[in-house]
């Protein structure tokens, strides 16, 4: 937790639950990533935290943006981003949204199928397009399975078709899954992309960009590789496969930019047991799965907690949210422990919750308001 976040929580004691996010840390993270991969252009993945103060700060730093919807395109433009700095990176777009983004000046789009490519040819003529290929997500704590990307052979055909349809077959992309703690995943993906890149070049397609996607991890309960080491592994793989004919390199960090800049302040609503002699206490908080902690599904992302009683004797806990839905249980199997003296009314903090929290919060499920946000 940054000194600014501690000071705000101490001095303002905002109503819980809320997210407090330190914009200076966002800037620091942007600069750290830039230093780790100086040759890469940074396209911030807006979905991680689309708040205007975050976008404003990143526009000021010269960041580019990866938008998942026309609404995110508009949010970037409103923050002052130039349309040329926006990539519409979702491979599943309504044609009306493509047309709207094109109308606002966006000229770079992702695709992973022929029907989507044809939509782009019709509604974003002449634009730069890049094809997303399927790669392994092993090592990602929040994997993306097979929802996005296509097999290499299909990507090859589609990139040729893109040119024939009057689009600019600009590049290739992949995404190794979010919270990726294994640099080998990037290395394997780069090897795969490089082969296709060379193939396409040989076929006369003027492909010239590789988009390495997101995935750069944040520290939760466990140590993660340093961004400098990840950057070195990635750039090493790029040099190995492309030699000194490096393509344009794009990265799309979301979690890494905002994750550890934010903290959720929450309140303990109830501490109880299911039987008098049950060693496990249930700790119910005023935030849960529907208050924004969607990434606790399957206990995938394991947030670290701080309580005012840390350092005292601890015991095992199951941690749950406040709604009357049984899936609103955050952690049952991940060996969480909390102080035995923890009690209703205590304020607790969930660390590194700046990414994928406010944007996942539900609207008034059980009457609870969407998560409050403070940018400091």
Q: Which is nearer to ligand PLP, 16 or 178 (CB)?
A: 178
Q: DSSP label at 15?
A: P
Contact code string over 77-116 relative to ligand PLP, x by CB under 6 A: ------------x---------------------------
Q: What residues from 25 to 84 belong to the interface with ligand PLP (CB under 6 A)?
A: 45, 47-48, 66
Sign of CA dihedral 35, 68, 211, 219: positive
Query: CB of 252: closest distance to ligand PLP in angstroms?
Result: 4
Name every residue whose Cβ is closer than 8 Å to that of residue 94 and which is 6 or more positions away in sequence: none
Stretch near ligand PLP under the rule CB under 6 A, chosen from 187-195, 211-219, 301-309, 343-351: 211-219
Query: CB of 341: closest distance to ligand PLP in angstroms?
Result: 36
Question: Is 207 within 8 Å of 245 (Cβ atoms)?
Answer: no
CA separation for the pair 132, 171 (Å, rounded): 9
Query: Is 324 designated active site?
Result: yes
Q: What residues from 235 to 254 belong to the interface with ligand PLP (CB under 6 A)?
A: 252-254
Query: CB of 306: closest distance to ligand PLP in angstroms?
Result: 23
Query: CB of 269: closest distance to ligand PLP in angstroms?
Result: 30
CA separation for the pair 310, 142 (Å, rounded): 28
Burial class of residue 149, CB neighbours in 10 A (0-12, 13-18, 19+): buried
Question: Is 81 within 8 Å of 59 (Cβ atoms)?
Answer: yes
Catalytic residue among 18, 131, 150, 324: 324
Contact code string over 345-374 relative to ligand PLP, x by CB under 6 A: ------------------------------
Q: What residues from 122 to 181 belong to the interface with ligand PLP (CB under 6 A)?
A: 175, 178
Residue 214 lies near ligand PLP (rule: CB under 6 A):
yes
Closest to 347 measured CA to CA, from 273, 294, 283, 297: 283
Q: DSSP label at 270?
A: E
Residue 215 lies near ligand PLP (rule: CB under 6 A):
yes
Taken as a whole, the chain contains a residue count of 376
Q: Tell me which of 213, 231, 262, 291 binds ligand PLP, using CB under 6 A.
A: 213
CA separation for the pair 122, 108 (Å, rounded): 14
**Bridge partners of 171?**
130, 209
Q: Which is nearer to ligand PLP, 91 or 307 (CB)?
A: 91
Q: What residues from 282 to 321 belong to the interface with ligand PLP (CB under 6 A)?
A: none
CA separation for the pair 126, 128 (Å, rounded): 7
Active site residues: 324
Interface with ligand PLP (CB under 6 A): 45, 47-48, 66, 89, 175, 178, 213-216, 252-256
């Amino acid at each position: 937790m940054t000194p600014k976040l501690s000071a705000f929580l101490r001095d303002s004691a905002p109503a819980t639950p809320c997210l407090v996010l330190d914009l200076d840390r966002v800037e620091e993270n942007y600069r750290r990533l830039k230093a780790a991969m100086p040759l890469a252009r940074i396209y911030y993945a807006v979905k991680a935290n689309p708040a205007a103060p975050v976008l404003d700060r990143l526009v000021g730093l010269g960041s580019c943006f990866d938008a998942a919807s026309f609404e995110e395109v508009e949010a970037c433009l409103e923050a002052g981003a130039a349309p040329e700095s926006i990539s519409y990176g979702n491979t599943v777009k309504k044609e009306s949204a493509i047309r709207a983004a094109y109308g606002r000046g966006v000229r770079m789009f992702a695709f992973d199928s022929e029907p989507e490519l044809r939509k782009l040819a019709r509604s974003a003529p002449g634009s730069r397009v890049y094809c997303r290929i399927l790669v392994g997500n092993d090592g990602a704590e929040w994997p993306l399975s097979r929802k996005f990307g296509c097999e290499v052979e299909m990507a090859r055909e589609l990139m040729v078709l893109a040119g024939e349809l009057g689009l600019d077959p600009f590049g290739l992309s992949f995404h190794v899954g979010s919270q990726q703690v294994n640099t080998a995943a990037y290395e394997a993906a780069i090897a795969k992309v490089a082969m296709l890149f060379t193939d396409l070049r040989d076929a006369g397609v003027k492909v010239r960009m590789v988009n390495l996607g997101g995935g750069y991890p944040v520290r939760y309960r466990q140590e993660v590789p340093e961004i400098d080491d990840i950057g070195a592994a990635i750039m090493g793989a790029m040099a190995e496969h492309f030699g000194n004919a490096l393509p344009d390199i794009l990265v799309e960090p979301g979690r890494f930019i905002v994750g550890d800049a934010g903290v959720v302040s929450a309140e303990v609503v109830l501490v109880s047991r299911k039987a008098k002699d049950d060693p496990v206490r249930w700790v119910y908080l005023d935030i849960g799965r529907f208050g924004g902690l969607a990434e606790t599904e399957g206990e995938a992302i394991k947030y670290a907690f701080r309580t005012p009683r840390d350092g005292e004797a601890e015991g095992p806990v199951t941690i749950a949210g406040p709604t009357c839905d049984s899936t609103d249980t955050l952690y049952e199997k991940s060996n969480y422990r909390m102080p035995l003296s923890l009690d209703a009314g205590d304020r607790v903090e969930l660390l590194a919750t700046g990414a994928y929290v406010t944007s996942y919060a539900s609207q008034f499920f059980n009457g609870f308001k969407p998560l409050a946000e403070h940018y400091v």
